[in-house]
């Protein structure tokens, strides 16, 4: 059975994962509004990925005899200055999520909650990938600069992303 403090911390993470999903859906809507449909597609897949992360935590709590809560989510920002700004916010947010996952791992370690530590390994590895991809796209956007043609090529590249 999972401890009450760990259950509370994971419930907070469930809320944070859903908040991440909503932020990425807002980014997808922004990209759609400026006809950058590849970027919109990419962010929409991020949205579904974050929902699946929340559900992994949800299922884990139930597997451990805990009680997962369905959290209220605040409205995310809906205005972004540019494609670069939106992706910089994405990367900054993923770095914040990494800190949250690391905090959960630290708590699990202090509580000698080995099952939670092991479950969190997947999320730790996932965050390495999230930050890596975010940094790569930011660097590509820096290279593209003000070139509309290059931005459209990057948009097409991101449109090719699949669910896998």
Distance CA(135)–CA(137), nearest Å, equals 6
Structure tokens at 76: 């995310």
Does the structure show a pLDDT above 70 at 164? no
Q: How many domains does the chain have?
A: 1
Q: The whole model's pTM is what?
A: 0.93
Q: Which whole number is the average pLDDT over 76-102? A: 93
Question: Which pLDDT score, from 0 to 100, does residue 77 have?
Answer: 73
Is residue 103 domain-resident?
yes
Query: What is the domain range of residue 40?
Result: 4-159
The answer to whether 83 touches 151, Cβ cutoff 8 Å, is: yes
Structure tokens at 156: 């097409």
Question: Which pLDDT score, from 0 to 100, does residue 155 have?
Answer: 94
CATH number, domain with residue 37:
1.20.1260.10
Is residue 164 domain-resident?
no
| 33, 67, 95, 121, 144 from 80: Cα distances, Å | 11, 36, 19, 33, 18
Distance CA(78)–CA(75), nearest Å, equals 9
Q: What are phi and psi of 33, to 5 degrees?
A: -65, -20
Q: Which whole number is the average pLDDT over 94-107? A: 98
Q: What are phi and psi of 80, to 5 degrees?
A: -130, 145
Is residue 29 domain-resident?
yes
Q: Which of 39, 19, 55 is nearest to 87 (CA)?
A: 39
Question: Which pLDDT score, from 0 to 100, does residue 11 have?
Answer: 97
Distance CA(92)–CA(156), nearest Å, equals 24
105-141 pLDDT per residue, tens = 999 999 999 999 999 999 999 999 999 999 999 999 9
């Amino acid at each position: 059975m999972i401890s009450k403090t760990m259950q509370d911390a994971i419930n907070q993470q469930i809320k944070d994962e859903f908040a991440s999903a909503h932020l990425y859906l807002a980014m997808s809507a922004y990209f759609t509004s400026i006809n950058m449909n590849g970027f919109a597609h990419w962010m929409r897949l991020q949205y579904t990925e974050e929902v699946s992360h929340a559900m992994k935590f949800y299922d884990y709590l139930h597997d451990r005899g805990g009680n997962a809560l369905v959290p209220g989510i605040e409205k995310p920002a809906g205005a972004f200055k540019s494609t670069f700004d939106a992706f910089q916010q994405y990367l900054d947010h993923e770095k914040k999520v990494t800190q949250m996952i690391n905090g959960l791992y630290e708590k699990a370690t202090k509580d000698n909650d080995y099952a939670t530590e092991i479950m969190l390994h997947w999320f730790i590895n996932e965050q390495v990938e999230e930050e890596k991809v975010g940094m790569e796209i930011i660097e590509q956007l820096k290279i593209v600069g003000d070139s509309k043609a290059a931005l459209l090529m990057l948009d097409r590249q991101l449109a090719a992303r699949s669910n896998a």
